[in-house]
């Protein structure tokens, strides 16, 4: 392994930002054993750099960021820029035991409970959209836009590939200066780790090309938004076989998949407080934006909160290994570990509670037919109130973690109070 000049030990906070501490490359092996110091109040940092005052930690307490060796990514040096090793870390107590407010541990425990209680393993992928600033004006989905981003695009794919993130597709998107990058499905915790790392590798590649990338949910009130679509499928832990496909069921979605989706729909409002937690997120989550226009389950409908994705038989492909659920009300302001853990918790609630399976809206459902589906919260403040009042959803989190999340998000809202939508979008775009 090469010896980069620094090792950066990283976590992802409640604003979806990667934070951490660096040590000299000569300390690589010791830092893997011992970690680096961390402070509980760091969890209370807002997207704008302030510490939310209503947090349970104050100025006391100490933690360690303990690197997970399997998460190592090397950003190679150039002639001008030194290389760096990045490790994702768990936030642990000084004796190495888990801290109950650590988002990565939250996701890990949710996945473990799903395995124990439902016998299911989650396969996941996070699909990111972002804007790359400073390009000439080009047409959506065009080869011209694809080439206008070079050498950024080729460098990004190469970096992702060498980092083991398994890039799948790289494409020009619909919005102005917008692109999308997808990576292959994998073990769910690894998928969430990749979601943290991918954003930093995109930003690093943009910087090296004299550009800036933003993953902000919305950069212009009248423009296209950037989402993070979370794809989920499941395997039976006893057989290793996929469990979502039932050709005889509505939408070909098995009872397992329908009941999991039922939990997502039942806690839709609370979930959005975790998965779409920026002051601008809910400007994007409205009908006719191809984001999530309501809390419903549908076949191949990009306005649905939960979409049953298509499958193909071309080349002998097996639909059973392709069928997945896509949760569409997430964005890059969210912590990927909290997003994953909350979705799994909601789905597990749907799997374990009695009740009717949700309606599967067909692909040809009309706008008039869908007019009566439940709406998502209209703004972040409403979503936070919904989370706080949802006894089941609020119970998924350690009390201090829930309190801190609510405090961080309400502080962010207070910090942008009075801005019009355009000013708000610009302020948030500068962060992400």
- Residue 159 to residues 24, 162, 428, Cα–Cα distance (Å): 22, 5, 27
Q: What's the pLDDT score for residue 144?
A: 95
The model carries a pTM of: 0.95
Region 105-392+411-431: CATH code: 3.30.590.10
Instruction: Give the pLDDT band of residue 1 (cuts 50, 70, 90).
Output: very low
Contact call for residues 267 and 393 (beta carbons, < 8 A): yes
Gap between the Cα atoms of 340 and 255, Å rounded: 21
From the list 104, 65, 90, 44, the residue with the least C-alpha distance to 339 is 104
Stretch 133-150: mean pLDDT, rounded?
94
Region 6-99: CATH code: 3.10.20.70
Stretch 179-200: mean pLDDT, rounded?
98
Is residue 270's pLDDT more than 90?
Answer: yes
Stretch 392-406: mean pLDDT, rounded?
98
Instruction: Give the pLDDT band of residue 79 (cuts 50, 70, 90).
Output: confident
Cβ within 8 Å of residue 253, ≥6 positions away: 244, 245, 246, 261, 297, 308, 323, 325, 360
Q: What's the pLDDT score for residue 292?
A: 83
pLDDT tens-place string over residues 9-18: 999 999 999 9
Stretch 68-80: mean pLDDT, rounded?
93
From the list 9, 250, 228, the residue with the least C-alpha distance to 125 is 228
Asked if domains 6-99 and 105-392+411-431 share a fold, the reply is no
Q: What's the pLDDT score for residue 165?
A: 97
Q: Domain boundaries in the chain?
A: 6-99, 105-392+411-431
Query: Could you identify the residue written with the tokens 């801190």?
Result: 404
Instruction: Give the pLDDT band of residue 36 (cuts 50, 70, 90).
Output: very high
Stretch 29-51: mean pLDDT, rounded?
96
Gap between the Cα atoms of 305 and 375, Å rounded: 10
**SS3 assignment, position 394:** helix
Beta bridge partners of 63: 38
Gap between the Cα atoms of 39 and 91, Å rounded: 9
Q: What's the pLDDT score for residue 366?
A: 83
Burial pattern 171-181, b for ≥16 Cβ within 10 A else e, equals ebbebebbbbb
Express as a percent the part of the chain with pLDDT over 70. 99
Instruction: Give the pLDDT band of residue 5 (cuts 50, 70, 90).
Output: confident
Is residue 3's pLDDT more than 70?
Answer: no
Mean pLDDT of the chain: 95
Stretch 323-345: mean pLDDT, rounded?
97
Stretch 104-112: mean pLDDT, rounded?
98
Q: What's the pLDDT score for residue 4?
A: 65
Q: What's the pLDDT score for residue 361?
A: 87
């Amino acid at each position: 392994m090469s010896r980069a000049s620094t090792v950066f030990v990283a976590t992802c906070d409640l604003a979806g930002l990667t934070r951490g501490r660096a040590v000299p490359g000569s300390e690589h092996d010791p830092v893997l054993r011992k970690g680096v110091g961390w402070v509980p109040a760091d969890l209370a940092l807002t997207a704008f750099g302030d510490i939310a005052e209503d947090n349970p930690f104050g100025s006391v307490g100490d933690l360690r960021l303990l690197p997970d060796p399997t998460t190592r990514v090397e950003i190679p040096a150039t002639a001008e820029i030194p290389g760096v090793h990045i490790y994702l870390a768990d936030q642990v107590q000084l004796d190495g035991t888990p801290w109950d407010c650590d988002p990565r541990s939250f996701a890990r425990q949710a996945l473990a409970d799903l395995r124990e209680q439902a016998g299911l393993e989650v396969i996941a992928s996070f699909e990111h959209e972002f804007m790359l600033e400073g390009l000439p004006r080009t047409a959506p989905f065009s080869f011209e836009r694809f080439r206008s981003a070079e050498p950024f695009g080729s460098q990004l794919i190469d970096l992702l590939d060498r980092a083991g993130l398994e890039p799948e597709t790289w494409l020009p998107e619909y919005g102005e200066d917008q692109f999308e990058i997808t990576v292959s499905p994998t073990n769910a915790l690894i998928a969430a780790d990749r979601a943290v790392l991918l954003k930093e590798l995109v930003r690093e590649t943009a910087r090296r090309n004299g550009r800036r990338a933003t993953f902000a949910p919305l950069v212009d009130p009248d423009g296209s938004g950037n989402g993070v679509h979370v794809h989920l499928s499941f395997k039976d832990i006893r057989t290793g076989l996929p469990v979502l496909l039932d050709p005889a069921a509505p939408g070909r979605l098995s009872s397992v998949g329908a009941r999991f989706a039922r939990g997502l729909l039942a806690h839709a409002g609370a979930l959005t407080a975790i998965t779409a937690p920026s002051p601008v997120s809910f400007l994007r989550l409205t009908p006719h934006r191809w984001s999530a226009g309501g809390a419903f389950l549908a076949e191949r409908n990009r306005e649905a909160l939960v979409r049953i994705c298509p499958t193909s038989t071309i080349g002998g492909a097996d639909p059973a290994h392709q069928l997945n659920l896509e949760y569409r009300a997430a964005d890059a302001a969210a912590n990927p570990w909290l997003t994953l853990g909350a979705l799994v918790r909601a789905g597990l609630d749907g799997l374990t509670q009695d009740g009717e399976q949700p309606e599967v809206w067909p692909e040809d459902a009309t706008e008039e037919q869908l007019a009566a589906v439940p709406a998502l919260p209209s703004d972040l403040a409403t979503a936070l109130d919904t989370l706080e009042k949802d006894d089941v959803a609020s119970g998924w989190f350690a009390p201090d973690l829930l309190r801190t999340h609510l405090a961080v998000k309400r502080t962010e809202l207070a910090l942008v109070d009075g801005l019009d939508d355009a000013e708000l979008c610009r302020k948030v775009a500068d962060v992400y």
